[in-house]
């Protein structure tokens, strides 16, 4: 039952991340196949990196459903383009949801591999954020991961909640839902209230001369 639940989360995350990639590709004069590739890379990039680090066969090589799910996302984007692409916040919302769901998948699979919890949190962050990183690089955008937005830290926050839930022996499904919700909530609240870490500003030239 738990396996089916995590699979459902994984496929839902694949769909929403694919939509976020296709949504961003729509403004780059890219054809349908190119949009599909961007959506697919967004959806599987983080999980592929995780599996390679874990030394296992990448998940999409064992199950073609992820390619089909990305195709469904592209079809949905084409059929409901006016509704999906008209909203300026669509990319952000789908990205936030995918971030939360994939973080939980990464943590769960790492714990199944009997890795320490801090490693599982790192793997969850990689699973959630690297797909978006690859998407942004391919589309010549400054990656969200490197901007001042709260992005990877939202994954870490969700990982800590996951850890706390395991300490009080909550059911796995409840733990995963709570952790994913925290990632999404932190991402949304940080964006809404413009919460971010301090920006690393360049050194003032006059100050640099004085230092020298």
Q: Which region, left, alpha or beta, applies to residue 140 given φ > 0 means left and ψ of -120 to 50 means alpha?
A: left
Is 159 domain-assigned? yes
Tens of pLDDT, residue by residue over 48-102, are 999 999 999 999 999 999 999 999 999 999 998 877 766 657 678 888 999 999 9
Residue 16 · residue 101 · CB < 8 Å: yes
CA distance 55 to 135: 24
For residue 210, tell me if it sits in a domain.
Answer: no
* 205 found inside a domain: no
Q: Is residue 209 part of a domain?
A: no
Q: What is the largest CA-CA distance in the chain?
A: 65
Two structure tokens written together for 10: 């994984």
From first to last of the 212 residues of the chain, give the pLDDT tens digit.
567 888 888 999 999 999 989 988 987 889 999 999 999 999 999 999 999 999 999 999 999 999 999 999 999 999 988 777 666 576 788 889 999 999 999 999 999 999 999 999 999 999 999 999 999 999 999 888 888 779 999 999 999 999 999 999 999 999 999 999 999 999 999 999 989 888 877 776 555 555 54
Report how many domains make up the chain.
1
Range of the domain at 6: 2-196
Q: In 59-169, at which residue ranges do the beta strands (DSSP E only) sit? A: none
Residue 105 in domain: yes
In a domain, 212, yes or no: no
| Helix boundaries (H) for the chain | 2-25, 32-54, 65-79, 81-86, 90-112, 117-138, 152-167, 172-192, 205-211
Quote the pLDDT of residue 1.
58
- The distance from CA 58 to its chain's CA centroid, rounded to whole angstroms, is 17
Q: What is the pLDDT of residue 144?
A: 81
Q: What is the pTM of this model?
A: 0.89
Q: Give ∠ CA 181-90-189 in degrees, rounded to 5.
A: 40
pLDDT of residue 121: 97
Instruction: For residues 147 and 79, give the distance between their C-alpha atoms in angstroms, rounded to a whole number.
Output: 32
């Amino acid at each position: 039952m738990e396996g089916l639940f995590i699979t459902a989360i994984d496929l839902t995350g694949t769909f929403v991340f694919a939509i976020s990639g296709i949504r961003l590709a729509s403004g780059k004069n890219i054809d349908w196949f190119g949009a599909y590739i961007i959506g697919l890379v967004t959806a599987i990039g983080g999980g592929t990196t995780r599996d390679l680090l874990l030394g296992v066969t990448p998940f999409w090589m064992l199950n073609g459903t992820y390619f089909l799910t990305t195709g469904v996302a592209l079809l949905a984007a084409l059929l409901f383009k006016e509704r999906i692409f008209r909203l300026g916040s669509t990319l952000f919302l789908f990205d936030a949801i995918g971030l939360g769901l994939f973080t939980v998948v990464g943590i769960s699979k790492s714990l199944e591999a009997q890795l320490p919890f801090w490693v599982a949190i790192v793997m969850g962050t990689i699973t959630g954020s690297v797909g978006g990183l690859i998407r942004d690089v391919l589309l010549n955008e400054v990656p969200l991961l490197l901007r001042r937005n709260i992005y990877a830290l939202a994954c870490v926050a969700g990982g800590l909640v996951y850890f706390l839930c395991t300490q009080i022996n909550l059911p796995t499904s409840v733990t995963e839902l709570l952790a994913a919700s925290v990632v999404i909530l932190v991402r949304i609240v940080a964006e809404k209230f413009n919460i971010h870490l301090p920006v690393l500003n360049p050194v003032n030239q006059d100050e640099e001369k004085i230092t020298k």
